[in-house]
Structures are given as C-alpha cells and as structure tokens.
C-alpha cells in the first residue's frame, strides 16, 4: 500500500525554544534514505531529514503511522520482513538506511545495509546489541561488569537459575523491548506464572533471568566515530514501583553521581561498546549504580533511543543526534563541530502516565490543550499522544507513557519540579467508572 507524496503534517506537541542554539550542518547533495519504522518516535526525525534536503522513503507495518505521511514516500510494510524491506530499498535506490527508537528494527537495518553494500553497523554487531543472550555472553567474554544471569528456555531451567542466582531476580525476553515480558520475580510461584508470558513475546523463545540489582539507573548517550566513543550525557532514569518498575517515568540531567562514579560509568559504557564491536553509530547504554558505587551494565542498544532522549541531549548539551545518525547512515564524516557538547543545561522530562504520573486511570473522555503547561517557567517542550476513548491504565509498559513535558532549570531538582508541575496542568478527563480489563 503506497501513501505517496507527503501532503500533511501531524503535530503532536510544541517546542517553544529556550534550549539555546543547536548546531546543525547540511548533509550536502541530495540523497535518498530509508527509515525502517515511521511511528510517533520516528516522525520528527523523518521531517528533519527532509529539512536537510534528503529524500525520505519510510516503511511501517501500521498504515496509521504518522511518519509515513511525513516522508516523501510512505509504504505499509512489515518492518521485521527483511526481504520486503530490502525490496523497497532496491526499488528506491536508497543511499542509506536507518531507524530511530525502534530497537526491533536495528537488525533489519543492518541486514539491508549489508546486503546492499551500504554503511551500517553490521549484522553481527546488530545481533549482539539487540539479543540479550548474545549481549550477556559477549559482555562476559570481555569482563564488562553486569548482573549475574542465566539463559533459560524452559520453566525447569528458569527454576534452577533462580536457585543459583537467588531472588529477587528480573525475568526478561531475549529479544523484545518496551518492557514487554519484563517481570520482577520474588518467589518461585511468581516465576512459574510469569515465565510463559515472557517466553511468548520472544521471537527466539529464549529468556534471561538476572539478579535484581537495586540502585540508581542511568541512561547514557554515546556517539561512536571510527571506533572512538564520545560520551555525551548520563541522566537519572526514575522508575515507578510495582509492575511498571522497568518503565522510565522521568529523566533528569545531569545524573546525580559524583565525578568518580561518572568516570566509572564512562569506562563501563566504552568497554561495552568495544565488546559489541560498534565502530560508527549511536550507543544507548543503561547502567545501574549500587550504593557502594559499583557500576554494572544492564543493556546497551545501537540507535537513537525513544523516550525523548534525543530531545534531552539537544537541550542539555546542544548536540542534535539526528544529523549525526543521518550522516553515519549515508557514510559521510561526522565533524567535531556536530558532536562536541557546547553547554551543560540541567533539565527534566516527566512522562504523562498514571501514578506516579498525573494521569487519572479510566477511559478518556477529553484532552485539553498544552497552552497552560507550555506557559510555565522553564518548560520548552510538551506533547500528548492521548486519544479519546482509549484507556489510561496503571503503568506497566513503555506504551503507557502518553505524552511528556520537558523543562529546564537552574538545578536538576528545579527542572523536575517544573516539569511535574506543568504536567499536572494538562487537562485529561476520564470516566473512572469504566471497567479496566
């Protein structure tokens, strides 16, 4: 199904500025790039690519994906179908292929690039940085600190692993994302109940059981050029209690760690990047800092991450990740001027969710404007993805984040207070009496 030439723009939020100048550099001669995935998280990057003079072909399995209408050519194609995506790439004579935020698309992007001889991270690296079993094995080979873990494919293996590793533990599918299939395990009974659900969302029918490590979670953003990693940001990733313990409901920059811990977080991140073999790309390490300062790598991905992390980097240090990713996908050099931080601005992003976020639980009856939230001190960006008739549920998955507010401040604490205050001013009315399945 072809959606054809772009004829409308869907705007979900507003960036009212205030983050300072972001340095940009033109891509140069016209090129064609293929975006694998064209949802809300990709639409802005697609529009930005077109603004750089690049012709954009985008594919997504959902014909409602807003990025399909942002692209020069939008096609409804299953983004996990490597052969179908490769056919599109050949038909449109693309010069590069990339994705934003869609972790499941990373191996497809790598396969298409490798098949067509285009710049890319390579199929092996993509596999290691997508599949949690392969990732854990590679990190262990290179002595990168990580939680104790076990690969499990049957309930019997999972039970044996729980006895070996100890409880509490975290059960997660080997190759899924968005917190789907993720469970904190306190008892063997919980493991017995959760295991079939976790395995069901894994394409490889594998899972990881790893020791639950309490501590502060960090998000990192690293640009790798010709094998040289440059750490741009570490930020606190705040998580709710309960079943949604894996969902980041707020990001705060800079991270609340001292210089020594920051240096150790950089060392662990760089060691993981080297172990995985990423030489050109954007890395997204997630780390845990224990009370004694020990830093462990939880996961690492090779993409611009979702959750407004690109916005965080842009406002915090003045680096726009999209032109960096575009240049790397097209095999063009990424100069220092494009990636060296030029400021250090405290900020916070708070997501619109049910508790601990501001959204009420129930069926949505109306959603008000962002006007009052955007008028608050320090607020520079906000968006909602809430649809009338949808159900706001207790936080369990990343998709339960239904918008966000980004605010600047003199300190991280002030920025977070501003973001949370503004988020509470976005009017959302629900029918609380409606049953929630």
Q: Does domain 148-211 have CATH number 3.20.20.30?
A: no
pLDDT score at 25: 45
Q: How far apart are CA 254 and CA 339, in angstroms?
A: 18
pLDDT at 5 over 50: no
pLDDT score at 218: 98
**For all residues of the chain together, what is the average pLDDT?**
91
Domain with CATH 3.30.1490.20 in the chain: 148-211
pLDDT score at 359: 95
Q: What is the mean pLDDT of residues 181-195?
A: 94
Q: Give every CB contact of residue 247 below 8 A, 6+ residues apart in sequence.
A: 179, 239, 240, 353, 395, 396, 397, 398, 400, 401
Closest alpha carbon to 234 in 74, 341, 389, 131: 341
pLDDT score at 380: 98
Q: Give percent of the chain above pLDDT 90.
A: 82
Beta strands in 290-416 (DSSP E): 295-302, 347-351, 362-367, 379-384, 391-392, 403-408
Q: Does the model's pTM come out above 0.85?
A: yes
pLDDT score at 9: 27
Strands 73-76 and 55-60: parallel
Other CB atoms within a 10 A radius of the CB of residue 357 amount to: 23
CA distances from 311 to 130, 153, 221, 363, 416 (A): 23, 38, 12, 30, 15
CA distances from 361 to 29, 230, 382, 386, 433 (A): 50, 42, 21, 13, 9
Helix ranges (DSSP H) in 96-215: 106-116, 123-128, 132-141, 155-165, 188-200
pLDDT digits (tens, 9 = 90+) for 32-89: 999 999 998 899 999 999 998 999 999 999 999 999 999 999 999 999 999 999 999 9
Helix, coil or strand: residue 408: strand
Domain with CATH 3.90.1170.50 in the chain: 346-437
pLDDT at 406 over 90: yes
Residue bearing tokens 């533990």: 169
pLDDT at 370 over 70: yes
pLDDT score at 330: 97
pLDDT digits (tens, 9 = 90+) for 162-173: 999 999 999 999
Are the C-beta atoms of residues 39 and 71 closer than 8 Å to each other? no
Q: Dihedrals φ, ψ of 136, to 5°?
A: -60, -45
Angle at 40 between CA 304 and CA 224, to 5 degrees: 5
Q: How far apart are CA 207 and CA 38, in angstroms?
A: 28
423, containing H or E segment: helix 412-423
The string of DSSP codes covering 248-269 is --EEEES-S--HHHHHHHHHHH
Q: What is the mean pLDDT of residues 399-411?
A: 96
Number of Cα atoms under 13 Å in the Cβ half of residue 88: 28
Q: Dihedrals φ, ψ of 182, to 5°?
A: -85, 135
User: Any idea which architecture 2-128 has in CATH?
Assistant: 3-Layer(aba) Sandwich (3.40)
pLDDT digits (tens, 9 = 90+) for 205-247: 999 999 998 999 999 999 999 999 999 999 999 988 888 888 8
Q: Does domain 346-437 have CATH number 3.90.1170.50?
A: yes
């Amino acid at each position: 199904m072809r959606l054809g030439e772009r004829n409308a723009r869907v705007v979900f939020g507003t960036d009212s500025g205030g983050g300072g100048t972001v340095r940009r550099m033109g891509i140069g001669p016209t090129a064609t790039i293929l975006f694998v995935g064209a949802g809300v998280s990709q639409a802005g990057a697609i529009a930005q690519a077109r603004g750089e003079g690049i012709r954009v072909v985008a594919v997504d399995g959902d014909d409602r994906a807003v990025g399909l209408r942002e692209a020069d050519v939008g096609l409804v194609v299953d983004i996990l179908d490597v052969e179908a995506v490769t056919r599109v790439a050949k038909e449109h004579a693309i010069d590069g292929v990339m994705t934003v935020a869609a972790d499941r698309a990373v191996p497809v992007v790598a396969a298409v690039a490798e098949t067509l001889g285009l710049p890319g991270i390579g199929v092996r690296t993509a596999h290691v940085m997508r599949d949690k079993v392969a990732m854990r094995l590679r990190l262990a080979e290179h002595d990168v600190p990580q939680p104790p873990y076990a690969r499990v494919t049957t309930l019997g293996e999972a039970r044996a692993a729980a006895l070996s590793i100890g409880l509490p533990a975290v059960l997660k599918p080997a190759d899924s994302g968005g917190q789907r299939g993720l469970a904190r395990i306190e008892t063997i009974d919980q493991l017995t109940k959760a295991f079939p659900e976790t395995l069901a969302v894994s394409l490889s029918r594998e899972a990881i059981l790893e020791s639950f490590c309490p501590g502060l979670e960090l998000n990192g953003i690293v640009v790798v050029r010709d094998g040289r990693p440059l750490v741009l940001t570490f930020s606190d990733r705040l998580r709710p209690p309960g079943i949604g313990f894996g969902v980041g409901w707020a990001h705060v920059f800079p991270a609340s760690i001292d210089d020594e811990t920051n240096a150790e977080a950089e060392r662990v991140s760089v060691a993981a990047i080297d172990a995985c073999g990423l030489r050109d790309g954007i890395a997204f390490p997630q780390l845990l800092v224990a009370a004694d300062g020990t830093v462990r790598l939880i996961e690492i991905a090779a993409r611009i991450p979702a959750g407004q992390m690109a916005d965080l980097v842009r406002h915090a240090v003045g680096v726009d990740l999209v032109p960096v990713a575009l240049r790397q996908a097209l095999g063009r050099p990424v100069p220092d001027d494009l990636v060296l931080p030029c400021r250090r601005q405290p900020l916070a992003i708070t997501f619109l969710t049910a508790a601990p976020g501001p959204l009420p639980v129930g069926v949505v009856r109306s959603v008000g404007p962002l006007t009052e939230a955007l008028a608050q001190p320090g607020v520079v960006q906000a968006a909602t993805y809430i649809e009338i008739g949808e159900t706001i549920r207790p936080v369990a998955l990343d998709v339960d984040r239904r918008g966000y507010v980004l605010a600047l401040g003199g300190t991280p604490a002030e920025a977070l207070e501003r973001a949370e205050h503004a988020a509470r001013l976005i009017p959302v009315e629900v029918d609380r009496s409606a049953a929630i399945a």
